[in-house]
Amino acid sequence: MNAAKLEMIDDNRSDLDRFVHDLVDGARDPELVGPPQPHDPHDVWTLDSLAGAFSASKERRPSEKALGHALKRAGAKNLGRLRIGTQLYRPWAVGGAEYWANTGADEVKNALETTGRAKEPKF
């Protein structure tokens, strides 16, 4: 893998793939987020909050399926399903995946509520 090949791969990404890869890479970059903190609540997103962030910049909302595939390709970790009140969410860890995959649902719920991402409108 050389710089030219990495540039070619990046040039051929869709807007959605580029958005998700930038988010995942940003969560891993210590210059952007400071020293690594494996339990940072800002590493946990719902599909709805990610779709909202994408649509704010691109003026279109991605499908849930396309967003899930882009997250997998970028290396994010699906944390299953989580019910908060009457709403069902699909949280994803874009950083600290090992920590979030092994933590309990209560801690994921607290992270979503702390960041306000559990209040995003549903698809």
- pLDDT tier for residue 58 given thresholds of 50, 70 and 90: confident
- pLDDT tier for residue 4 given thresholds of 50, 70 and 90: confident
CA 60, 66, 68 angle in degrees (round to 5)?
A: 120
Q: State the virtual CA torsion across 109, 110, 112, 115 in degrees, nearest 10.
A: 170
Tokens of 3: 């710089």
What pairs with residue 44 in β-bridges? 93
Q: What are the C-alpha distances in Å from 7 to residues 23, 32, 63, 98?
A: 18, 21, 27, 28
Residue 11 has pLDDT above 80, yes or no: no
Specify the pLDDT at position 25.
82
What pairs with residue 46 in β-bridges? 91
What pairs with residue 78 in β-bridges? 92
**Alpha helix ranges (H) inside 43-104:** 47-58, 64-74, 97-101
Of the two residues 114 and 12, the one the predictor is more confident about is 114
pLDDT tens, position by position, 15-39: 898 899 888 887 765 555 455 565 7
The rounded distance, in Å, linking the Cα atoms of 50 and 79 is: 14
Specify the pLDDT at position 77.
94
